[in-house]
Amino acid sequence: MAIDWSKLFKKYRGFWIALKDDEKSVVASGKTAKEAWEKARKKGYTKPILTQMPEKLITYIGKTE
């Protein structure tokens, strides 16, 4: 099932975010992956999911080979 990250994109555009296992709850953010990771660890999340929100959204339709 697809997860709508449009609200996360608006709030965290260009930032690294650390997510809970549900893949939609942000526990920490930072300008670098290390910063987001360390903030999440300080909050007690030992294995957060890290991802970077893009600067802009680009629609892609098609396939890659």
Highest mean pLDDT among 1-10, 40-49, 50-59: 40-49
Amino acid in the structure at residue 51:
T
Q: Which tokens is 25 given?
A: 């709850």
Contact assessment for residue 33 and residue 54, using Cβ atoms and an 8 Å cutoff: no
pLDDT band at 57 (very low <50, low <70, confident <90, very high): confident
11 within some domain: yes
The Cα–Cα gap between 65 and 47 comes to 33
Residue ranges making up the domain that contains 45: 6-52
Q: For residue 3, what pLDDT is reported?
A: 83
Q: For residue 22, what pLDDT is reported?
A: 93
19 within some domain: yes
60 within some domain: no
Reported as a single tens digit per residue, the pLDDT across 25-53 is 999 999 999 999 999 999 999 999 999 99
Q: Is the dihedral of CA 63, 33, 30, 1 positive or negative?
A: positive
62 within some domain: no
Domains of the chain: total = 1
| Percent of the chain's residues with pLDDT above 70 | 97
Find, among 30, 32, 28, 4, the residue nearest to 18 by Cα.
28
61 within some domain: no
The pTM of this model reads: 0.81
64 within some domain: no
